[in-house]
Structure 1
Amino acid sequence: MVTSVQPKRLTMQVADVAPEMTTIRSLDWDRDRFDIEFGLQNGTTYNSHIIRGDKVALVDTSHEKFRQLYLDTLTGQIDPKRIDYIIISHTEPDHSGLVGDVLELAPQATVVGAKVAIAFLENLIHRPFQRQVVKNGDVLDLGQGHELTFINAPNLHWPDTIFTYDPKTAILFTCDAFGLHYCSDDLYDEDLKAISPDFRFYYDCLMAPNARSVLSAMKRMDALDAPIQTIATGHGPLLRHNVEELTGRYRRWSQAKSQAETLVAVFYISDYGYSDRISQAIARGITKTGVAVEMMDMRGADTHEVQELVSRANGVAIGMPPSSGDRAKQAQATLGTILAAVHSKQTIGLFESYGGDDDPIDPLMSRFQELDVTPAFAPIRLKDTPTEATYQLCEETGTDFGQLLSQKDRLKQLKALDGDLQKALGRISSGLYIITAKQGDISSAMVASWVSQASFEPLGFTISVAKDRAIESLMQVGDPFVLNVLEEGRHLPLMKHFLKRFPPGADRFAGVRTRLAQNGVPILADALAYLECQVATRMEMSDHWLVYCTVQDGRVSNPDGITAVHHRKVGTYY
């Protein structure tokens, strides 16, 4: 049975997924950004689940924007007085934001979660509640065959994440892991082609910086030695038709990222200020360069694990902790361990958390400089609430960090290549173009030469975009952009401007004449022609994305002008 209520925008969907198991989906149709860090093309959902045995368990709740809708739907499915357990997959507010409200209706319920999750909830729910701490392998018997097994899955993508497996229904509840921001009436993943771009984008944004943690969690999943017929995610459709395919993608992507020889350790505090979001943006920028990332919450971090991680890392990024309170004591202990473990061959970067009580950044930077550690980037100082532009700055900073660390390896690879092959490949000529893109407060541009028409109907062409380009984040499926065609004899000023290295967060259009296209993207006024486009599909190559785009509009400014052409001496680097 599947029923839907409320008009589109914020709606609820209730589905009987298995005998004695009901899913409540809060559908957020129009959400276009998720916590500002990255844009959404297809909205999102927040999924909550009811398991009925002799006892009843509620797995996760919903976002606070759905408070009344969710509570009305929940009470329409079950008398809250019958809820025995509230299982917290992790304490990020979009899943646990209504736990306090549910406890008001079900004060008898026991909150079940990882040790760290219970500690976080004490700061979120300012009232006593019954609790049960679970660890990897623990079992909670609801009766009638629902013997729930818990799997420890920290850093996916919060430090307190757990999975829950129900052997009777062969359902694995994973919250953020294996999810995607995709809102539709489809309960399951029947249309693999439709959801694949969002599935990958979600992985790149949230899971790629924790690739080693993904593999560790999947190893524990394998240890269940039990069938998984359905994955009940926290976002998007439930996975039932393509479980093997989609979990296989996670495994392959994570193995590739975790095998990188260069590693950056990113330390943050998940429940303080904007530390987790800023660190995630920096980490994503780093992973775009092929450098591996391991993230660790400074609150309650194990001393030996901190030492081991820092000893393996080529670089370290640290979010500033609070200067007072329990968090400060725990974080200062972790900082002391980091300071004792770093060495002069490493690079260090610091960023503020904007939590209202940040420890001063300069004294800590001075201590690292005394240890002869190389600064990775100028400290990121936040004076206002982070915006889209802030997160773009953080991602670009991470990309610069990753490029700095991987530069030596790239030079070695280039020197090892055959000279004749390089020269022969370089004889493939191409036109010169500048891609411009804009979303909200974020805009970017890049010089492109790997452009080729690909179809007549619809009108379409392909562009190859390096994975570590800043503009790549603005060229996801559905995103608008403009292809500006440069004119022979007038292209050098634009080339010189857009080929220079921009610092993170810099305005790439400063001093350049532009006007807005109908799709809201800047057009370069001095270009020979422009095409208004939209990304249709993306194909992953080893170090580039091959992006197929469709054309909506275009115009030539000089009918007699010809396209500037680029001839490279070698074909193995720009």
Structure 2
Amino acid sequence: MKAMVIKPGVSKIGAVHWERRLFDSLIPLPDGTSYNAYLVEGKEKVALLDTVDPMTEYILMEQLKDVKKIDYIIAHHAEQDHSGSIPAVLEKYKEAKVVCTPKAKTFLIDLLPIPEDKFITVEDGDTLDLGGKTLKFIHAPWVHWPETMFTYLVEDKILFTCDFLGSHLATSELYATDECKVYDSAKRYYAEIMMPFRNFIEKHLEKIKDLDIEIIAPSHGPVYNNPEFILNAYREWVLDKPKNIVLIPYVTMHGSVKKMVEYLEAALVERGVIVKPFDLSVTDIGEFAMALVDAATVVMATPTVLVGPHPMAVYAAYLTNALKPKVKFISVIGSYNWGSKAVDQITQMFGNLKVEFIPSVYIKGYPKEEDFKALDALAEEIVKRHKEAGIM
């Protein structure tokens, strides 16, 4: 990947990781990803904004082979997909200093072999003059680690946001030209990584709203030369009410739960509710996370395994609680034979969420006529709650 010029003296470098399919041994990457670094060359000083994952370090170093000097490495975030190649850059540019928040300095020393005397720490609002190009540092903790910051390039009106507003999307294009594709990738990224920090993100959106921004340059995915596209998307995901959507993550072993899910889905659709069922045995968990961004209600559907919920349902409940979506209502449906504690165990897993629990429908064996009536009543109750919440 060759350097891509954004503005005179400002280039995007880094690496596109086309083939990567899993991040942190946890997050699916159906479209690969990129690790964006940026070179800002002033009249007097040169700054490298972030580096790349060590797996692609050789690409970055090839891009830097003709760069005669780097005075500063701006480390927005200590996670290794951005910081991991800092030691290699410091080895090549021995006079360079690492610029970061005080907390990031501690993290970077813990994570990487960087001597303490290599650091310059900056406070919120501090600036660094490169000679005709001024970097202004904006502390932005919890997007998505506590040490993070943004950089605003004053003269060129570029906001470098590291993980914030990014997308796991491998692309050879500089800008987000296919906005439909980028929207989905950015939403998946928000859902899986940023959504647990929604309250912090709301504050950071407010903090940057008065900046004159022409370009947003994140450290994953394409650059935005239409900043309002991604800012408006984040405002919707963070600030808007949840929508008239019910998610039904389910597991079925012998067909009882699947029959209940199919019946409840039809009952809700008849009453004007959008329903999204997810068979947890085959679901891309990232798709489920994306759906959580908008949903008002989650109905966990599980059979009984050793008197408790199925492990896949436990994972879905754990994930829902960890991601802290805007969900307002939760219920549980499922079946058992000789006994079950599944409802109690599942409902105890949502301590992070400010939700109302709608009474469960947990039945013995295969659903019978009275059980379908109970599912109709559950559908009616969900509709009632949605109307009371002003989302239907």
Do both share a fold (TM > 0.5)?
A: yes
**Which residue in 2 is equivalent to 1:465?**
276
- Note the C-alpha offset of 1:125: 1.9
Give the Cα separation in 1 of the matches to 2:176 and 2:138.
24
**Which residue in 2 is equivalent to 1:530?**
none
**Which residue in 2 is equivalent to 1:447?**
261
> 243, 247, 252: which one pairs with 2:236?
252
**Which residue in 2 is equivalent to 1:29?**
18
Structure 1, unaligned stretches of length 5 or more? 1-11, 260-287, 291-395, 397-431, 436-445, 453-461, 480-493, 509-542, 544-564
What is the DSSP-based 3-state SS (H/G/I as helix, E as strand, rest coil) of the residue aligned with 1:572?
A: helix
Q: Cα gap change, 1:170/1:57 in structure 2, threshold over 3 Å: closer, same or farther?
A: same
**Which residue in 2 is equivalent to 1:443?**
none
**Which residue in 1 is equivalent to 2:376?**
569
Give the Cα separation in 2 of the matches to 1:140 and 1:95.
21
- Note the C-alpha offset of 1:148: 1.0
What are the residue-to-residue correspondences of 1:338-417 with 2, within 5 Å? none
Tell me if structure 2 keeps the 8 A contact 1:289–1:467: no
Q: For 1:31, give the aligned amino acid.
A: R
**Which residue in 2 is equivalent to 1:40?**
29
**Which residue in 2 is equivalent to 1:317?**
none
**Which residue in 2 is equivalent to 1:535?**
none
Correspondence 1:184 to 2:171: yes
Give the Cα separation in 1 of the matches to 2:239 and 2:314.
36
**Which residue in 2 is equivalent to 1:210?**
197
**Which residue in 2 is equivalent to 1:227?**
212
**Which residue in 2 is equivalent to 1:61?**
51
What is the DSSP-based 3-state SS (H/G/I as helix, E as strand, rest coil) of the residue aligned with 2:108?
A: helix
Q: Deviations over 1:198-238 (max 9, x none)?
A: 1111101111100111122222212xx33111111010111
- Note the C-alpha offset of 1:91: 0.6
Q: For 1:572, give the aligned amino acid.
A: E
Identity of aligned residues (%): 31
**Which residue in 2 is equivalent to 1:15?**
4
Matched positions, count: 297
Q: Cα gap change, 1:497/1:160 in structure 2, threshold over 3 Å: closer, same or farther?
A: closer
What is the DSSP-based 3-state SS (H/G/I as helix, E as strand, rest coil) of the residue aligned with 2:376?
A: coil
What is the DSSP-based 3-state SS (H/G/I as helix, E as strand, rest coil) of the residue aligned with 2:216?
A: strand
Runs of 4+ in structure 1 over 4 Å off: 466-473, 494-498, 503-508, 565-568
Q: Calculate the TM-score normalised by the size of structure 2.
A: 0.67
**Which residue in 1 is equivalent to 2:65?**
75
Q: Cα gap change, 1:471/1:214 in structure 2, threshold over 3 Å: closer, same or farther?
A: farther
What are the residue-to-residue correspondences of 1:520-559 with 2, within 5 Å? none
Give the Cα separation in 1 of the matches to 2:302 and 2:108.
53
**Which residue in 1 is equivalent to 2:344?**
none
What are the residue-to-residue correspondences of 1:104-119 with 2, within 5 Å? 104-119=91-106
- Note the C-alpha offset of 1:474: 3.1
Correspondence 1:193 to 2:180: yes
Give the Cα separation in 1 of the matches to 2:88 and 2:277.
46
- Note the C-alpha offset of 1:469: 8.1
Give the Cα separation in 2 of the matches to 1:495 and 1:97.
42
> 78, 85, 88: which one pairs with 1:91?
78
Tell me: higher relative CO, structure 1 or 2? Use CA pairs within 8 A at least 6 residues apart. Answer: 2
Q: Cα gap change, 1:122/1:226 in structure 2, threshold over 3 Å: closer, same or farther?
A: same
Tell me if structure 1 keeps the 8 A contact 2:246–2:275: no
Give the Cα separation in 2 of the matches to 1:42 and 1:34.
12
Q: Cα gap change, 1:18/1:74 in structure 2, threshold over 3 Å: closer, same or farther?
A: same
Tell me if structure 2 keeps the 8 A contact 1:45–1:234: yes
> 285, 288, 296: which one pairs with 1:474?
285
Q: For 2:213, give the aligned amino acid.
A: I
- Note the C-alpha offset of 1:451: 6.4
Q: For 1:464, give the aligned amino acid.
A: V
Q: For 1:131, give the aligned amino acid.
A: F
What is the DSSP-based 3-state SS (H/G/I as helix, E as strand, rest coil) of the residue aligned with 1:447?
A: helix
Tell me if structure 2 keeps the 8 A contact 1:59–1:86: yes
What is the DSSP-based 3-state SS (H/G/I as helix, E as strand, rest coil) of the residue aligned with 2:202?
A: helix
Tell me if structure 2 keeps the 8 A contact 1:107–1:129: no
Give the Cα separation in 2 of the matches to 1:495 and 1:59.
47
Q: Cα gap change, 1:475/1:102 in structure 2, threshold over 3 Å: closer, same or farther?
A: closer
Give the Cα separation in 2 of the matches to 1:174 and 1:49.
11
Give the Cα separation in 2 of the matches to 1:28 and 1:434.
39
Q: Calculate the TM-score normalised by the size of structure 1.
A: 0.47
Tell me if structure 2 keeps the 8 A contact 1:289–1:468: no
Q: For 1:465, give the aligned amino acid.
A: K
Tell me if structure 1 keeps the 8 A contact 2:280–2:313: no
Q: Cα gap change, 1:128/1:256 in structure 2, threshold over 3 Å: closer, same or farther?
A: same
Q: Cα gap change, 1:42/1:496 in structure 2, threshold over 3 Å: closer, same or farther?
A: closer
Give the Cα separation in 2 of the matches to 1:433 and 1:185.
45
Tell me if structure 2 keeps the 8 A contact 1:91–1:121: yes
Give the Cα separation in 2 of the matches to 1:133 and 1:496.
53
**Which residue in 2 is equivalent to 1:137?**
125
Q: For 1:125, give the aligned amino acid.
A: P
